[in-house]
Structure 1
Amino acid sequence: MPQHKISFQLYSARNFPPLETVLEGLAAIGYDAVEPYYPLYGDDAAAYRAKVDAVGLVTPTFHAPLDGVAGDTARFIDIAGTIGASTIVVPYLVAEERPTNIDGWKKLHDTLARAAEKAKAAGFGLGWHNHDFEYVSLPDGSRPIDHLIGNGVSAELDIGWVVRAGKDPVREIEKLAGDTIAFHIKDLAPAGTTAEDGWADVGTGTVDWKALKPHIDGAAKAHVLVAEHDNPADWKRFAERSFASIKALLS
């Protein structure tokens, strides 16, 4: 059975500074790791690393913008080394920058693959974190996600967004099992819920994590489970409940 690190996407606590207090709280709860997003580590990755080291956490994965990863790959490879990460993850593409056809998604993949080749040469991985738009069918019946992953580009599969896209998470986990390097463990509130943007603390929502666990375990390279909530009213409540649920799932 794989040994997973339980991580926390720091975007979930962006509205509750300071970072030092959040990190101390996460360490006290029992988290192994954190996943920062740009510009949290900004131009001083060493200062970020010092704060994480001070509480005994690690940073196996981090989110970095596409323009930086593609346009200044060396910089983000350097950041990865500084903060102790093994994988750089591109987390999002705003609507106006998304390709509008199959060729466009294939070209985006080629861009990612070139950056992944450079990252691999330096000893790092490169991945893509999905939302729901990657699961919208294209004219030939394929989806953007089908073109983005592979050829050195890994998946950080966000299960919550897969479910919100209306897709079967088992099928999607199995489809990308060989290319997945981490999972975002994100839960959904019941349909019609508007509070907290319709997300829920892990284990309190509608996702059947027990049913998904064997399939998550089947992704042999995915050793990091990242708890995330896009808009919690209370970051610590989310962190505590989600850690307890993930820990129970792993045991």
Structure 2
Amino acid sequence: MSIAVVPYTLRHHAFNLEQVKTIYSTLHELGYDGLENGMGRSAGLSPEEDLELIRSNGLRVCGAYGDIKNPEEVIKAARLYGASVVGMPSIPGEMMRSPDGFHAYAEQINAWAKPFKGTGIRLQYHNHSQEFRNFPELDGKSGMDILIDETDPETVAFELDVFWASAAGCDPAQWIHKLTGRIPVVHYKDMAMNCQAENTGLGEVPRQFAEIGQGNLNWPLITEACRAAGVEWYCVEQDQTKRPVFESLKISIDYMRGTLKIV
């Protein structure tokens, strides 16, 4: 089991080569094993140069991104980084409003995934909250259920974002169990109540992003589910931080290593 950082967390800190070098060296010092994708492109590095810098800091890459309409190039990039999954676009908003949209998108995913068959590399779908829309005409079945049921397990994996699953009113652990064998990477992102929010009414929930262990998600149960489902990479993502970003990342990994025993 390895712990990585999602580059989006560090998006405001990687505009030149020196900043990228600082990110990689600091992540290594904090005890992270890698990143979900390299960050060298923002500094003008080629994938080969970026990988060399990543490895020189004792880090690895657990996922790749690129134009999946050009599968040869994406497979090449994934193999270069040593990644077994490639990210894909989330379902467009106009397709989320009906089961037909989810059925059609599952069909599209399978078409994108065909060139990956037999390569050992799978496309990987990352959820937000909208995929968990429940459709009365399907007896409450959700869009996420459709995507899982109608895509090829051999070529399509899922990267559950536990924050967004929880924001949709779901039990992340239950969905992780449902994805057993299809969830090599998971997004660890905690959800807290904003203690400074002026709105204290029942109609709205003033959610905010938090360091792992600083919010309200049931991390022991989520982690137990991850172990049972075969998760290989636990990727920390914090969209917004109140503290300096590396301080937040230290809080998260210390909790994951110390309390959750992800080692």
| TM-score interval for Structure 1 and Structure 2 normalised by the shorter chain | 0.7 to 0.9
2:186 aligned with 1:183, yes or no? yes
Q: Which amino acid in structure 2 is aligned with residue 203 of structure 1? A: G
User: Normalization by structure 1: what TM-score?
Assistant: 0.86
Inter-CA distance 232–91: structure 2 relative to 1 (3 Å threshold): farther
Alignment-derived partner of residue 206 in structure 1 = 216
Inter-CA distance 197–51: structure 2 relative to 1 (3 Å threshold): farther
Distance 1:193 1:154 in 2: 38
Larger Rg belongs to: 2
1:72 to 70, 73, 95: 70
Alignment-derived partner of residue 133 in structure 1 = 130
Deviations 1:52-98 (A, max 9, x none): 1121101022344xxx21x22222111112222111122645535x4
Work out whether residues 40 and 47 of structure 2, in 8 Å CA contact, stay in contact via their aligned partners in 1. Answer: no
Work out whether residues 91 and 130 of structure 1, in 8 Å CA contact, stay in contact via their aligned partners in 2. Answer: no
Q: Secondary structure at the match of 1:184?
A: strand
Deviation at 1:192, TM superposition (A): 6.4
Counterparts of 1:89-168 in structure 2, within 5 Å, are 89-90=87-88, 92-93=90-91, 95=93, 98-138=95-135, 139-140=137-138, 141-149=140-148, 150-151=151-152, 152-168=155-171
Alignment-derived partner of residue 47 in structure 1 = 49
Alignment-derived partner of residue 228 in structure 1 = 237
Inter-CA distance 40–9: structure 2 relative to 1 (3 Å threshold): farther
Alignment-derived partner of residue 173 in structure 2 = 170
Q: Give the unaligned 5+ runs of structure 1.
A: none
Distance 1:188 1:108 in 2: 29
CA RMSD of aligned residues (A): 2.5
Deviation at 1:193, TM superposition (A): 6.1
Distance 1:31 1:77 in 2: 25
Deviation at 1:131, TM superposition (A): 0.7
Deviations 1:170-218 (A, max 9, x none): 2222222232121111101126666x97100011111121122221111
Q: Give the unaligned 5+ runs of structure 2.
A: 198-205
User: Normalization by structure 2: what TM-score?
Assistant: 0.82
Q: Which amino acid in structure 1 is aligned with residue 22 of structure 2? A: T
Q: Secondary structure at the match of 1:74?
A: helix
Work out whether residues 160 and 187 of structure 1, in 8 Å CA contact, stay in contact via their aligned partners in 2. Answer: yes
Q: Secondary structure at the match of 1:80?
A: helix
Deviations 1:12-62 (A, max 9, x none): 001112222111100111111111279957883222212211211010223
Inter-CA distance 39–157: structure 2 relative to 1 (3 Å threshold): farther
Inter-CA distance 146–192: structure 2 relative to 1 (3 Å threshold): farther
Q: Which amino acid in structure 2 is aligned with residue 145 of structure 1? A: M
Distance 2:249 2:71 in 1: 32
Distance 1:176 1:230 in 2: 24
Task: After superposing the two structures, state which structure 1 stretch, 36-45 or 99-108, moved more.
Answer: 36-45
Distance 1:105 1:37 in 2: 31
Inter-CA distance 84–125: structure 2 relative to 1 (3 Å threshold): same
Work out whether residues 191 and 207 of structure 2, in 8 Å CA contact, stay in contact via their aligned partners in 1. Answer: no
Q: Secondary structure at the match of 1:62?
A: coil
Work out whether residues 135 and 143 of structure 1, in 8 Å CA contact, stay in contact via their aligned partners in 2. Answer: yes
Distance 1:37 1:95 in 2: 28
Work out whether residues 128 and 164 of structure 2, in 8 Å CA contact, stay in contact via their aligned partners in 1. Answer: yes
Q: Which amino acid in structure 2 is aligned with residue 55 of structure 1? A: N
